[in-house]
Amino acid sequence: MYTYMALYTGQEKIVPVYDERGGEKDSVVLPKIFYFPVRKDLIRRAFLSEFTARLQPKGRDPMAGKRTSAVSLGVGRGVARVPRIKGSLRAALVNMARGGRAAHPPRVEKVLKEEINRKEKRLATISAISATSKEDLVRDRGHRFSAETLPIVLDSSVLSSVSTAREARALLESVGVYEDIIRAKEGRRYNAGKGKMRGRRYKVPKSILFVVEDSRAPLALAVKGLPGVDVTTPSLLSVLQLAPGGHPGRLTVYTTGALKLLSERFEVTMP
Q: What average pLDDT does this structure show over 198-222?
A: 96
The answer for 142, left when phi > 0, alpha when psi is -120 to 50, beta otherwise, is left
The tens digit of pLDDT for each residue in 115-128 reads 999 999 999 999 99
pLDDT reported for residue 8: 52
Whether the per-residue pLDDT at 5 is higher than 60: the answer is no
Residue 186: in which H helix or E strand, if any? helix 178-186
Q: What average pLDDT does this structure show over 232-244?
A: 97
- In residues, how long is the chain? 271
Contact (CB, 8 A) for 4 and 36: yes
Whether the per-residue pLDDT at 205 is higher than 90: the answer is yes
268, β-bridge pairs: 2
Count of beta carbons in the 10 Å neighbourhood of residue 169: 16
Question: What ranges do the domains of the chain cover?
Answer: 2-55+115-269, 58-111
Measure the CA–CA gap between 168 and 250, rounded to whole angstroms.
19
pTM: 0.86
Q: What average pLDDT does this structure show over 66-95?
A: 93
Residue 212's SS3 state is coil
Contact (CB, 8 A) for 121 and 112: no
Highest CATH level, class, for 2-55+115-269 = alpha beta
- Bridging pattern class, strands 83-84 and 71-72: antiparallel
Q: What percent of the chain has pLDDT over 70?
A: 94
Whether the per-residue pLDDT at 6 is higher than 80: the answer is no
